[in-house]
Structure 1
Amino acid sequence: MPLHGQQPRGDLFFDGENLLHMVASAVVRLSQQSGPQDPVYDSTVQNTYNQLVLLCLRKGQTPPGSVPAMVRWATERPIGEWPWVLPNDFDGGAAFLVDALTRTPTQQCWEWRVAARDVAAEQVENQLMGEAIAQCRAAKAPESYTAFRRLLIRQPVLTDAERAGLADDLDLELLHDVIKRCYEPAPASYLRKGVYTVCARCGCLLVPIGQDRYVCELDRCRRDQHAKVGRTVPARQGGGMYQLNRAMRMFITGPGLAETDLETALIDRGLRPEMWPNFDAYDLRITLPQGQVWAVDVKDRANPALLGRGALPLRPDPPYDKGFLVAPQYRFDEREDYGRVYAHHRRDDLAGVVDLISDVDLLARVDRELARRRPAKKTATTGVAADA
């Protein structure tokens, strides 16, 4: 077994992480296929299946009998129980590539799909998000980019009437064409008795399961196992329902909710954070009462090892005194080793530069800074400062 970080021998290239990337890519590709094709499976999917079969035979294991059987493996077998060899901290226990309830690729699957330093950048920001940034930068309109980001976070689902109404929003006027391409018609799989149901937590469409159950696709909402039903929209009444594409819901809306939750918590503390400064150099810029500036980048990633591998220093403009990489607390609650796995896979030269903390920890540090700078109270009788 090759040590982690070494290049595998040629005969083992289609093993471990390489094959996992291929399977994840094949699963996502199949999920995006709208109907039968000729040939039935494209070369990427077929080659992935072939290599999985060869690996199973080489290791004396029974391979899946078909491409659909490979997808069933992705639904029923945790990543760590496939025949490939992975570092011990890569699978995170019961991590699957396909969600057994919704029959769609999980966030783990999307993260494994691309061997890139930043999944969100590779899947989204280099395309529609990059185009939005370029247009707003050229027009010197940071307010348009901020409004665009808030739209994707607050309204991942739009009725036809709501989408048409965006034309009246002057801040979004610059990006109308990009916005139209961000949203796609919601498929009938989200309908129950002709009605769409929206998650009250994140605003995404809920997936109907069986006769009376719903589940949300976002990890942050799925963890309590009970969907919180928000508004309902009859398909005919809405004149058509649109939702952000899956990558944007996962890598923009999901982390964006954590970003705006932090924004709200900071405002409640009397601060005024700047959101996505300098066209998304990082996510929040916090100016503390005595002038110290903190930069915060928020990531909501299922796999801490991949997060560590992709970690880079925060961009220096606009300048700041301290930088933080922040993940939602629920990720640390779900994986006790989340922070340690991240640190193990982060580049050694980034220790102390891109350390990972939770959003709860960040707010605790803000509270300590505010308390340190708060004027000491004096006692009524002596005028001597009371102990903190």
Structure 2
Amino acid sequence: MPLHGQQELPRQPRAEGFFDGENLLRMVASAIVRLSQQPGPGDPVYDATVQNTYNQLVLLCLVNGHAPPASVPDMVRWAAERPIGEWPWTLPDDFDGASAFLVDGSTRTPTQQCWEWRIVARDVAAEQVENQLMREAIAACQAAHAPESYTAFRRLLIRQPVLTEAERVALADDLELELLHDVIKRCYDPVPASYLRDGSYAVCARCGCLLAPIGHDRYVCELDRCRRDQHPRVGRRVEARRGSGLYQLNRPLRMFITGPGLAETDLESELVARGLRPEMWPNFDAYDLRITLPRGRVWAVDVKDRANPALLGRSALPLRSDPPYDEGFLVAPQYRFDEREDYGRVYTRHRRDNLAGTLELISDTELLTRVDRELARSRPSEPAATLREETADA
């Protein structure tokens, strides 16, 4: 007899315990992302991946004595209303599922937690099908020996996640981006009508992404770095005009390139203000920033803006060694540490043993503090400087 109106469960061997815990959580996250990308009902209504995920969740619920979701839509409702710690699976205590949802309750779209669970890899964006585009961009720039084109491309994705039709057309005249015009076109999707309110689109003043209208008078930003503001500020409005489209980066690029990219360029600005000249995305993105300090020491910095520190720890790998550096850091925005007091400790517990002592996780605030200490050490002490000045006058 079919369960809850769905197709009958397949009769096949089942590995005891496999469809539980993290494995099932990843399956549910993948199913939710897949559903979010589905333009409309299919035939069958749900593909085999989504249906199998639902079936396994129902089985787990029944085995554990829980009432299962009544349908696939009900599973999605669970994802918006139940934090992952309240599902019938078993997760490690330090995953802190008490406040982590897979679907945003306001926008009804997959959260960053959901995307991170979908793909557990060092570079989430690079592992998405959509972000084969990033590899194409790197390959094209390497073949042309044009690192400046790749740098310009990264800055575009960070600074302009939204493009009007006129802005999109104007990119054709940018010589630095000439190699990547086709790739850029495929990075941006037409903006759906769900972002439209009263004939215009609202752009977030902080990150430059589109704000999602909620109800009659609220907006929310989809990036975690901006969601902490209960009332995001509108930076500009773009009027909807017939025959003139609006485009935004696809969702994985917005989340895993634009989001951490803002932290990267914020660090760049702070370092430049201190008189340093960091190299951005050296050697076609070996890491994010290469900082040469006054005493000649070089620091390599890779910036990650991840919601789940355990997944970050598991996916962390050593930084590439070319260009060379003396010390490497994995950096997360300060707000992640503010939101989770144990963010750094959870990362360390799940980090590979071979990274101990080689890739420390610190906040961007702590990195700048360490830079300031290095700069202070390089300055001559005041008495010595005064003595030199007096000697020169004599």
Counterpart of 2:193 in structure 1 is 188
CA deviation profile, 1:154-201 (whole Å, cap 9, x unmatched) = 000000110000001000000000000000000000000120110000
Counterpart of 1:359 in structure 2 is 364
Counterpart of 2:18 in structure 1 is 13
Change (3 A) 1:124 1:378: farther
- TM-score, with structure 1 as normaliser: 0.94
Give how far 1:84 is off.
0.4
Alignment of 1:211-290 (within 5 A): 211-236=216-241, 239-290=244-295
Which deviates the most, 220-229 or 116-125?
116-125
Counterpart of 2:174 in structure 1 is 169
Counterpart of 2:86 in structure 1 is 81
CA deviation profile, 1:327-368 (whole Å, cap 9, x unmatched) = 000000000010000000001121111110000000000000
Could you say what secondary structure the match of 1:324 adopts?
strand
Indicate yes or no: 2:206 matched with 1:201.
Answer: yes
Could you say what secondary structure the match of 1:286 adopts?
strand
For structure 2, which runs of at least 5 residues remain unmatched after alignment? 1-13
Indicate yes or no: 2:107 matched with 1:102.
Answer: yes
Give how far 1:16 is off.
0.4
CA deviation profile, 1:230-287 (whole Å, cap 9, x unmatched) = 1101110781100000000000000000000000000000000000000000000000
Give the partner amino acid of 2:112.
Q
CA deviation profile, 1:81-116 (whole Å, cap 9, x unmatched) = 100001011134310000000110000000001133
Alignment of 1:296-375 (within 5 A): 296-375=301-380
Distance in 1 between residues matched to 2:277 and 2:370, nearest whole Å: 16
Give the partner amino acid of 2:39.
S
CA contact (8 A) 1:307 1:342 kept: yes
Change (3 A) 1:71 1:329: same
CA deviation profile, 1:285-321 (whole Å, cap 9, x unmatched) = 0001121100000000000000000010000000000
Give how far 1:228 is off.
1.1
Counterpart of 2:54 in structure 1 is 49
Distance in 2 between residues matched to 1:382 and 1:190, nearest whole Å: 65
Could you say what secondary structure the match of 1:12 adopts?
coil
For structure 1, which runs of at least 5 residues remain unmatched after alignment? 1-8
Distance in 2 between residues matched to 1:238 and 1:106, nearest whole Å: 32
Counterpart of 2:11 in structure 1 is none
What is the count of residue pairs matched by the alignment? 377
Could you say what secondary structure the match of 2:163 adopts?
strand
Distance in 2 between residues matched to 1:383 and 1:38, nearest whole Å: 83
Identity among equivalent pairs (%): 80
Could you say what secondary structure the match of 1:236 adopts?
coil
Distance in 1 between residues matched to 2:156 and 2:389, nearest whole Å: 51
Counterpart of 2:154 in structure 1 is 149
CA deviation profile, 1:37-68 (whole Å, cap 9, x unmatched) = 11111111000000000000000000000000
Counterpart of 2:9 in structure 1 is none
What's the Cα RMSD here? 1.8
Distance in 2 between residues matched to 1:161 and 1:50, nearest whole Å: 47
